[in-house]
Amino acid sequence: MRTLDTRQLLAFWSVARRQSFTRAAKDLNLSQSAVSHAMRALEQELGCRLLNREARSVALTPAGEKLLLHVEAILREMDAARNSVQLSSAWEHGSLKVGASMAACQHILPVVLREFRESFPKCSIKVEPGDQAQQYELLQSGRIDVAILLQPTDDTPPEVTVVPLFEDELCFFVSPHHPWAQLNFVPTASIRAQLLVLYTSGTYTFDLVQRYFAASEVEPSNVIELGSMDAIKEMAKLGVGAGIFAPWIASSEIESGILVPLPLGRAPLRRKWCVAFRSTRRLALAEQTFVGLCQAVADNLNYRTVQTLADKRSA
């Protein structure tokens, strides 16, 4: 494929725009003879006359007018390419502020950030952990760029855009020696007296669980609140009550049989996870990459969890 000399095209564009070899040469910081030579070389390459050289001005021929349309498009594309590369380079040295729940910080973010660092090794990253309400507040105030969080059951704030990731289901988790594990189901009458280990009150997940049991006319009377999912898992492993969390947080424990998942009741209690950002701003390349990586990691996480639960049910 034969290509045209971009320097000749730029000279042609400048002459056509200024209608003068002298003024074009001044714009390009070239001599007038250099511009004239570039135009003769371009005409020879294309095999046609592009310019009508008059006494005090220059006019385009029909062929020159057609070429000008292409040259202007080429120059716009070159400018866009320059800006895109410069933006990417700037982001490599920029920063990314991420908000995430504690569960996402422990089980989603590490894999996402490992992949992200390969594309943006010089981009500084700051993570702000917090519950759903805190993340929305941080987003709306501009203190974080993106957040991994639970999507509310009611309407999402209009100033926030959400990208769905996956849906999970909260379950009881007990040790294999727990009476519920022996029965392989949870008698509703026994929930009231059972020690339940829940995530901290005031959080979105705690409120969901409370509303679920209230709607089922079950009011647990013995509850321990912990601010760490790992701590809740440990309590369940030791047989100190029944923990309530999502299976993807304990996939390895389910596979090894250390923890046994059981439904909360007849109706599942599901949550939706998403990546959120402010609707008023356009995502930069690094932010778009981060969102895409979250989707990829979530797809794999959700697939493994579904497979693990299916294997356990069929065993």
CB 247 within 8 A of CB 168: yes
pLDDT digit string, tens, across residues 38-62: 889 989 989 999 998 876 778 999 9
Directed axis angle between helix 62-92 and helix 6-18, to 10°?
120
Plot region of 34 (φ>0 → left; ψ -120 to 50 → alpha; else → beta): alpha
Residue 275 has pLDDT above 90, yes or no: yes
For the chain, the average pLDDT equals 86
Confidence of residue 81 (pLDDT cuts 50, 70, 90): confident
Residue with tokens 């941080």: 138
Residue 260: beta bridge partners?
174
- Distance, CA of 314 to CA of 74 (rounded, Å): 61
How many residues would you count in the chain?
315
- Helix, strand or coil, per DSSP, at residue 31: coil
Q: What is the pTM of this model?
A: 0.66
